[in-house]
Structure formats: C-alpha cells, structure tokens
Amino acid sequence: MTILFSLMVVIFQSESNNTMGKPPSTELGFSKDNPASIGDIVLFKDDHIKGSKLSIVCIESYHGIEAYNRMLVNSKDAFIIQPNGNYEYLIIKFNISFVNSNEKNRYFYASNGHFYLYQSSNSSGKPEWLQASSMKPLIESKLLKNDSIEGWVTFKINKNTDYVYISYVNNNIWFKINIK
C-alpha cells in the first residue's frame, strides 16, 4: 500500500511539473545531466500519437554473479555462459505503460531495441542480444491505451564500471544505474 501511494505521489508531481511534450533539460529523466533513477516514473509522449501519455519506470537492476544466476533461473536456455575477462552482465527491469491517447486503436511499440547503454567510460552499446542470455520476459509488445509491459533488458558491461546511463527511445529519456 505504501509503494502504491508513493507511486501515485510521483505521478502527480510529474504531471504537475508538465513532463509532457518537450520538457526543459532540467526535467528529471529528460537529460543525461538529470537522469531518472530506479523507482522514478518518467511521463512522456509519442509525437506520432495525438494526446499520448506514456510512462516508464526502472524497477530494479542486478549485475555480476547475481544477474547471471537470475538469468539461469529465468531463461529456457541451459547454455548461458558467463562473460569472459573483464565483463559481467547487467539486467534491468522496466515497466512501460500507455496511459492515455486521443486516438483510438493506435499503439505504441515498446521493445528492448529502444534501450541503449552508455558506460561511465562513454562507450555505448545496444542490448545484449545473445539468444542464450535473454532474460525473460523481454520488452516486446504493441501497447494500446491502458496497456503496460514489464520486462528485462540485458547488457554486458565492464566490471570496473561505477555507473551506467540507459537511454530510451533515441536518447529522449535517461536513467542512471549505479553499479558500485
């Protein structure tokens, strides 16, 4: 009950701060300089859908051996291999919701392919698309009004990384995930 109340407060605060449209770069989650964190709900719109209102929240993340063990449990493939050398897995759970729209029967396509990783070393990468390392469930759906999807995004990161930035939908929404 407390979690639900907290989420409602964050949504109300975000709505009152006018996060729809193109917000100023100081708005939480819409800039690499002011990224959202785990638990922050970011409201946004799709410019191709009139009156659209969507939300994204990073729910949880794991890295290293804990991520690897969760992948073993949640994957149907028994051949998940630990990354070699100086790398480890990072798995991040997101929820994306299509809250509202003025258009009937329009959908918002949510996909793991819309997430990008930027390590603290400024290198970037697409989600790790190894068949054996796909953490289930994936984010892959056409969302209609009032639909939502929750799933995992998998990356391979450098073990010495202190934090990563995750961008969603062409660098419009930013999250910072602390590793150490």
Q: Which of 111, 142, 148 is nearest to 126 (CA)?
A: 111
Band of residue 4 on the pLDDT scale cut at 50, 70, 90: very low
Is 60 exceeded by the pLDDT of residue 19?
no
pLDDT over threshold 70, residue 129: no
Nearest Cα to Cα of residue 159 among 57, 78, 84, 79: 84
Query: Residue 63: how many CB atoms within 10 A of its CB?
Result: 20
> How far is the CA of 10 from the CAs of 42, 43, 66, in angstroms?
9, 10, 29
Place 147 in a pLDDT band, splitting at 50, 70 and 90: very high
**The predicted structure's pLDDT at residue 92:** 94
pLDDT, residue 12, reads: 32
Q: CA dist 69 to 7, 58, 81, 91, Å?
A: 29, 20, 11, 11
Structure tokens that stand for 140 in this block: 């892959």
Close Cβ partners of 129 (under 8 Å, ≥ 6 residues apart): none
Select the more confidently predicted residue: 11 or 147. Answer: 147
pLDDT at 20: 47
Mean pLDDT of the region 137-161: 92
